[in-house]
Structure 1
């Protein structure tokens, strides 16, 4: 694509949903100015590499595994936390690659997922009303007036926490930890006590045998020793992502260098809104969440706005319909988009449409509902002859009790034991592996 001029601030003239009400605009301006002078977190060439991988997904030749925390926290940017999330993602990818027999594009919800849209601007506890927690990038989780006041200095801390996380992720994926010969080491703390871990260990033994055979044949590809890993987040706080947009010296085109891939959420995908306008100006691979109220006309208009050149790998639609709606709401969307000739990758977010409140007051999700939405997603694509291109999930490497079901049969009464999320409930490691094995089965039978 040839270089072309673009107005990166055209979004400022449009309504921007879900933005904080910063109390000190001069402080925001100082922070934005500082962010503009900081180094990129990712490089434009890496974004283009991911676009190539996603083009393969759109053609039906690969599968996306995208996942991580619902909302990252600054306190979570530690070596142990990053390693454990990466370990879970690698284990899921191994299951999908080996059992599903498909190349897997690995994308983390990491190094930038510090902001979350909220259904209400305020929260009430015990008769006290304060601003809602919007993620560590905006304000604090503690229910106090001081903590809940939006603070633009947090944008800088989000940048530095993202840099630490990316540095750790690169070290783990390129420094030997992600070597396929480590498939057993990833499971040592897990296999004895988990049904999913024991099932994974059997698969790891089969991989060991295959690797031993290839070694005997003097075949030892570089791909076995490192992993391609990409970062992504919802580009919700536009001041942050605009400040980290740079013009690529190779092409003269703008990239949001806060992440390899960014996406627009269901609450901010208005065609006449600021988020869609901003995304239309950057050259990253981008995603859009589509809920059950999305019409085919909406989807086609988003394609026209965000990928008018029909560039392969540019646009991914992330369906988040809910288990009860996916089989009814998704087919017409996929059918109309396919008929238009648009090159779009389709992936399934089976988390956000399946949240409910337990009697204890905890937000939670049933693993059975998550699995059912994924099954419905595959059924729709199978019926239409299209490609089910991936899954987008919220998970953690920790043994939390935030979603019910799974091999350990977590029930609603267990939620309070280890309910640690800063926002929405996440699958724990065992539940994530349960999902990966089910997806592999569905993919092979598709």
Structure 2
């Protein structure tokens, strides 16, 4: 989190955590008895041990008390009292840790959150896919180009994107570099948030670049004008809240690379409980949520709020088994289900899962990932997504919840703050033959900021209708 809830500086005495050699030894020994999918084939185990040893000596990236506060916020989401906005890069890169890049992502999240908060008249819990989203699962372990076979790119935390043997060879030292990149990203974000950039009085300043002239940007300016008017009124009657000047923003990533995650699991000095201090919120992906797998076992042992992706192959019994594994005590805010069904499957695939949860008395947050189920390959060879499909899956998600009388709890989106051309369509339409012009992702296609803002307005309309 980038500010404490009470507005005062964090004191480490109440949230500190420490490396416990007994915990680490027990955790790694027990996880070794479970199959671990999507792990790199490290060529030198000694180098892995060295990197893990360095990581275990590093300070925590986040604190246990911050994770507990996020769990409270997510409990409000599960009760229908708040909405979760989670977004950021598909895969962060080391080169992307710059002030401009971090600021642009922050702009995107802030603009989307303002639109959603204004429409829903409820708090928006803001979680970035940042400061740790360096590892990616792959459908195949290798990649073939011109008859040459090399390991697949698994994210900067494992190997390099360049298609060469030296770059694609997994390098454990990259885990240490990922830690430092995450720390730098957190520091930059804290600086922007603490330096006034996130002050609601800056609502126009978040819209001063290429987005401003787009239809979504112009619509946003009209909304910003109404917010300005409301702020002037609040000042006039002397009731302006401190929350106008500050924002809570949490970090998240997929808990994929287990060597990294276990090395950053620490014991909270307040409670004696283990937390993964690499991020506030971690999730288990569709490819690694095997009930007998190491990823679910790891997630079940830490106290962070946990997400789990559920796709069209998830059965109601699978869902309940996941809940029993990850949240046996039915703790509010502990568990978030992230549906990633695809636009064609959402209306049929999601209802049986929610109905089973209702019948069993399970309380969890339900959020929509409209990205991963809608990917296809364009004729140019670029992996892309149709913006209309993304929008349709979000509509389907809200329709299902409206029919069942449940709360559509949030949105999980791969996005960037830059003017990229990776997803086709949108108000400033990108055509398939134009994808190459600014196709910058190293993995999956992301919404650019204009498309992200358009999506926020759609969700705002759906939230307003649902009230």
Give the TM-score category using the shorter length.
over 0.9
1:94-105 alignment to 2 at 5 Å? 94-105=114-125
1:439 CA drift (Å): 0.3
| Residue 197 of structure 1: aligned partner | 217
Please say which of residues 19-28 and 334-343 is displaced more in the overlay: 334-343
Task: Provide the TM-score with structure 2 as the length reference.
Answer: 0.94
1:32-111 alignment to 2 at 5 Å? 32-111=52-131
**Residue of structure 1 aligned with 2:275, choices 241, 255, 264:** 255
> Residue 415 of structure 1: SS of its match in structure 2?
helix
User: C-alpha distance in 2, partners of 1:159/1:220?
Assistant: 39
| Residue 46 of structure 2: aligned partner | 26
1:120-139 alignment to 2 at 5 Å? 120-139=140-159
User: C-alpha distance in 2, partners of 1:444/1:405?
Assistant: 25
**Residue of structure 2 aligned with 1:266, choices 283, 286, 307:** 286
| Residue 236 of structure 1: aligned partner | 256
User: C-alpha distance in 1, partners of 2:411/2:133?
Assistant: 17
Q: Deviations over 1:371-402 (max 9, x none)?
A: 00000000001111111000000000000000
User: C-alpha distance in 2, partners of 1:411/1:213?
Assistant: 44
| Residue 18 of structure 2: aligned partner | none
| Residue 416 of structure 2: aligned partner | 396
Where do 5+ consecutive residues of structure 2 fail to align? 1-21
Q: Is the 2:211–2:449 Cα contact (8 Å) retained in structure 1?
A: no
1:8 CA drift (Å): 2.4
Q: Is the 2:157–2:178 Cα contact (8 Å) retained in structure 1?
A: yes
Kindly tell me: are residues 192 and 303 of structure 1, through their superposed partners in 2, closer, same or farther at Cα, counting changes over 3 Å?
A: closer
User: C-alpha distance in 1, partners of 2:191/2:247?
Assistant: 11
1:181-220 alignment to 2 at 5 Å? 181-190=201-210, 192-220=212-240
> Residue 284 of structure 1: SS of its match in structure 2?
coil
Are residue 379 (structure 1) and residue 399 (structure 2) matched?
Answer: yes
Where do 5+ consecutive residues of structure 1 fail to align? none
| Residue 389 of structure 2: aligned partner | 369
| Residue 8 of structure 1: aligned partner | 27
Task: Provide the TM-score with structure 1 as the length reference.
Answer: 0.98
1:175 CA drift (Å): 1.9
> Residue 412 of structure 2: SS of its match in structure 1?
strand
1:343 CA drift (Å): 1.6
Q: Deviations over 1:127-164 (max 9, x none)?
A: 11110000000000000000000000000000000000
Are residue 289 (structure 1) and residue 309 (structure 2) matched?
Answer: yes
**Residue of structure 1 aligned with 2:346, choices 326, 329, 343:** 326
> Residue 438 of structure 2: SS of its match in structure 1?
coil
Q: Is the 1:133–1:148 Cα contact (8 Å) retained in structure 2?
A: yes
User: C-alpha distance in 2, partners of 1:409/1:186?
Assistant: 22
Please say which of residues 92-101 and 148-157 is displaced more in the overlay: 92-101
> Residue 49 of structure 2: SS of its match in structure 1?
helix
| Residue 174 of structure 1: aligned partner | 194
| Residue 16 of structure 2: aligned partner | none
User: C-alpha distance in 1, partners of 2:392/2:122?
Assistant: 21
Q: Is the 1:69–1:395 Cα contact (8 Å) retained in structure 2?
A: yes
1:251 CA drift (Å): 0.2
1:192 CA drift (Å): 4.3
> Residue 407 of structure 2: SS of its match in structure 1?
coil
Q: Is the 1:68–1:109 Cα contact (8 Å) retained in structure 2?
A: yes
1:224 CA drift (Å): 0.4
1:369 CA drift (Å): 0.2
Q: Is the 1:175–1:226 Cα contact (8 Å) retained in structure 2?
A: no
Q: Is the 2:144–2:150 Cα contact (8 Å) retained in structure 1?
A: yes
Q: Is the 1:191–1:201 Cα contact (8 Å) retained in structure 2?
A: no
**Residue of structure 2 aligned with 1:151, choices 171, 179, 188:** 171
> Residue 328 of structure 1: SS of its match in structure 2?
helix
Q: Deviations over 1:209-242 (max 9, x none)?
A: 0000000011121100011000000010001000
